[in-house]
Amino acid sequence: MTSEQTPETETLPASDAASTPANPQLQQRQRASTLAQALRNELRKAVIGQSAVIDDVLTALIAGGHVLVEGVPGLGKTLLVRALARCFGGEFARIQFTPDLMPSDITGHAVYDLQSEQFKLRKGPIFTNLLLADEINRAPAKTQAALLEVMQERQVTLEGRALPVPLPFMVLATQNPIEQEGTYPLPEAELDRFMLKLRMDYPEQDEELSMVRQVTRSAKADMLEVSPLRTLLQAKDVLALQKIASDLPLDDQVLDYAVRLARATRTWPGLAMGAGPRASIALVRGARARALLRGGDFVLPDDIKGCALAVLRHRVRLAPELDIEGLSVDQVLQQLLDQVPAPRL
């Protein structure tokens, strides 16, 4: 069953709200927001000091997109995915990307069965709901390309057969931006399939203090526990969240704003390459998910702006002269966001 075939009668677990509106659609929307916010609070118990990153990962989950998380070692990239898998009752798989990893190690391969004298398909770890692609830039382009079809089409072609993956399906990839030895740059075609590129930074002092206090109480050395986290939703609940978010009202002016932002990157001074149409789509999908996460009844221009950096930063390329001056992609994009007028609703 594809995401377009999700039954519209699918319902979410009842919320604990004392009073609910008479409108069933509004009632479902409020339940969805309550569930998404409960999931956010649960993740914050395990991942300390990364509130913005947690919100962005949930945005991608609700929007049905994939996430590339970039950060130095030890900031909790893998922990965040493990915590999300713990709160999510679906299937979870982890692939450690290495230079000798083959595409068949990801997608699967045909195995000859001596008893039946026939080839049987052995599915790879990619047939799951949440896939953690750890240190994705350590594998060569040929292996990374094994993800291209499944990220876009939600299916894998094995021995000439198109096999669908379980829905919902989400790839959460991590990479280290500092260490370049033994790494391979991600192809542009693969980068474009990631809805968001997130950057994890060092936590604030009080957050790091809280984290150190919590970790040093654990019996598992320097590992944070995810086992105390509650399982709050199943696969069908995520599909229902995605359906409810996609139905959130969106004014034509807000839609136009998203398209204008993406198109502005193609002619903006300082950007050698702009974002394609996938960026416009990702801005709208991400804004709807953010609106649901904050409990809104419709999408605001601030929802578009809130996910713009994560949507655009990996889809544009900085001009060489600005790179030499020490400007970052985020700084140039922030100038763009400040100057492209947003609609007033």
Q: How many C-alpha atoms does 72 have within 13 Å on its Cβ side?
A: 4
CATH code at 249-345: 1.10.8.80
Residue 139, pLDDT above cutoff 90: no
Residue 248, pLDDT above cutoff 80: yes
Q: Please state, in angstroms and rounded to a whole number, the distance separating the CA atoms of residues 324 and 86.
A: 44
What pTM, to 2 d.p., does this model score? 0.85
pLDDT grade for 1, boundaries at 50, 70 and 90: very low
- Looking at residue 135, its amino acid is E
pLDDT grade for 9, boundaries at 50, 70 and 90: very low
Q: Please state, in angstroms and rounded to a whole number, the distance separating the CA atoms of residues 120 and 110.
A: 5
Residues 6+ apart with CB under 8 A from 77: 69, 71, 174, 200
Average pLDDT over residues 268-277: 91
Residue 290, pLDDT above cutoff 90: yes
Q: Which residue is it, tokens 């150190």?
A: 212
In terms of Cβ atoms closer than 10 Å to its own Cβ (0-12, 13-18, 19+), residue 161 is exposed
Cβ burial 123-135 (10 Å sphere, 16+ → b, else e): ebbbbbbbbbbbb
Contact 291, 304 (CB under 8 A): no
158 or 245, higher pLDDT: 245
Q: Which two tokens stand for residue 64?
A: 């049905």
74 or 19, higher pLDDT: 74
Average pLDDT over residues 66-92: 84
| Per-residue model confidence (pLDDT) at position 12 | 66
Residue 249, pLDDT above cutoff 50: yes
pLDDT grade for 40, boundaries at 50, 70 and 90: very high
pLDDT grade for 215, boundaries at 50, 70 and 90: confident
Q: Does domain 17-247 have CATH number 3.40.50.300?
A: yes
pLDDT grade for 71, boundaries at 50, 70 and 90: confident
User: What does the pLDDT look like over 97-122, one tens digit per residue?
Assistant: 988 999 888 988 877 777 776 777 88
| Per-residue model confidence (pLDDT) at position 20 | 47
Instruction: Report the chain's mean pLDDT, rounded to a whole number.
Output: 84
Q: Please state, in angstroms and rounded to a whole number, the distance separating the CA atoms of residues 332 and 338.
A: 10
What is the domain partition of the chain in residue ranges? 17-247, 249-345
pLDDT grade for 254, boundaries at 50, 70 and 90: very high
Q: Judge if the upstream peptide bond of residue 21 is cis by omega within 30 degrees of 0.
A: no
Residue 2, pLDDT above cutoff 60: no
Q: How many C-alpha atoms does 263 have within 13 Å on its Cβ side?
A: 7
Q: Please state, in angstroms and rounded to a whole number, the distance separating the CA atoms of residues 267 and 264.
A: 6
Residues 6+ apart with CB under 8 A from 279: 262, 265, 311, 312, 315
CA 145 to chain centre: 18
pLDDT grade for 73, boundaries at 50, 70 and 90: confident
Q: Of 168-172, 197-201, 244-248, where does mean pLDDT reach its minimum? A: 197-201
Residue 14, pLDDT above cutoff 90: no
Of 325, 326, 308, 318, residue with least CA distance to 257: 308
